[in-house]
Structures are given as structure tokens and as C-alpha cells.
Amino acid sequence: MNMDQRRGRFIGRLIAEGIVAIVGMGLLQAMPVDAYEPVAPWQLAQGTLYSSSAGRFAVAFPSMPEVTAEDDDIEGDPVTIHSFEAFTTTSQYMVAYADLPASFLSQEVGVVLDELRDYSLDDIGIEALMASEVDVRLSNNPGRRYRYSDDDGTIDIRLYLVDERAYLLVAVDHNETRVDRFVSSFALR
């Protein structure tokens, strides 16, 4: 397996579960991009604030997440993918993170984000998500947002690069308010 295949496999695993839910809900049909508005802190009370000291984040899941860790590698360097996921038959909320190898991070930040995006979205053939790309920041850290909504539901995917760590947030739900609550509650610790 060459370096590009390994990167693609690693990044693809970060979002594979979220994409399965997206496809299963039929949300990838030419959905228009909606503006994102932050949710007020008092609205977080309707979720379960989950904090990971090792992951250095907190987020309001709609229910307690399942936590998993899986070993993989990038360019021969070992990495561990940590996933936190809460889901029902009609929704999915996930945070995943992994510390990236120094050789991968030696590139310019925009190139790293482009490669993470390309490996995660191109490999699964979802061009509509790439068309909705918007640069975002989280506590002065660079990131990307991919968001769609229609009558069937809302999907919001966030990718953040915080020092050596890549974070991925996926929210898929028929209730747009719950999606907004989840993504706006994500905070670094």
C-alpha cells in the first residue's frame, strides 16, 4: 500500500461512519447550503455535555456517546483514531480525533487541510459536500465546514487542525436545531 492509499484509508476511516448515515438518510441530493448561526449557551442544557481530557475537547451530545479507539498508520507512522459517537435510526453525532505524524504536518496548513479534505471526501465520491466548503476557525485554529440542509434533514461536517491534532465533527439529523446545538457546542479544552 503506498503513502497516498494509507492516508486515504486513515482519513476515510475518520468519517466513514458519518457518511454511511448521510447516505442512508438520503441527504446527499443537491441540498442547498444554509447559513450557520451559533446556538446560545442556554440551549446546551438540552444535550449531554461530554468532556474528554485526553481529547482536549467538550461537546453537547444529544445522548452519551460510545467511545472507541482504533490503531492505524500514516506514512508508516502509527496513529490512533479516537471516536465518540451518539446515534439513533435517524441521527448521528460524532467527534473523532487523531494526532498526525510530523512528516504529514510539515506541509503548509492549507495543503494539510486540502489533503485531509481530499482524502476524506473525494474517496467516497461526494462532490456536493466539497462544493459547500467554507473556511472556518476554532479558537484561532484553521478548519473547514461542509453543510447541507433540505426537507429531509441537515448534515454538518467540520474538520479542524489544532497543532498536531485533526478533529472531525459530523452531525446528521432531521432536526436542524439539534445539529446547530451540537456543532456550536464543540470547544477545545
CATH number of the domain residue 15 falls in: 3.40.1000.10
Query: In the sheet that 153-162 helps form, which strands lie side by side, from edge to edge?
Result: 66-74, 77-87, 92-99, 165-173, 153-162, 141-150, 134-138
Report the distance separating Cα 5 and Cα 107, nearest Å. Answer: 18
Are the beta carbons of 115 and 41 closer than 8 angstroms? Answer: no
What per-residue confidence (pLDDT) applies to 114? 85
What per-residue confidence (pLDDT) applies to 148? 83
Are the beta carbons of 47 and 155 closer than 8 angstroms? Answer: no
Each residue's pLDDT expressed in tens, for the chain with a length of 189 residues:
444 444 444 444 444 444 444 444 444 433 333 333 444 454 445 556 899 999 999 999 988 999 999 998 777 889 899 999 999 889 999 999 999 999 889 999 999 888 877 766 655 556 666 778 899 999 999 999 988 888 888 889 999 999 999 999 999 999 999 999 999 999 999
Q: Which domain holds residue 20?
A: 3-188
CA terminus-to-terminus distance, the chain:
36
Report the distance separating Cα 65 and Cα 27, nearest Å. Answer: 23
Report the distance separating Cα 158 and Cα 156, nearest Å. Answer: 7
Give the residue from 93, 89, 98, 96 showing the smallest Cα distance to 48.
93
CA distances from 53 to 15, 50, 57, 75, 188 (A): 22, 10, 7, 27, 10
Place of cell 500500500: 1
Report the distance separating Cα 96 and Cα 4, nearest Å. Answer: 21
pTM: 0.76
Report the distance separating Cα 163 and Cα 151, nearest Å. Answer: 37
What is the grid cell recorded at 141? 485554529
Domain count, the chain: 1
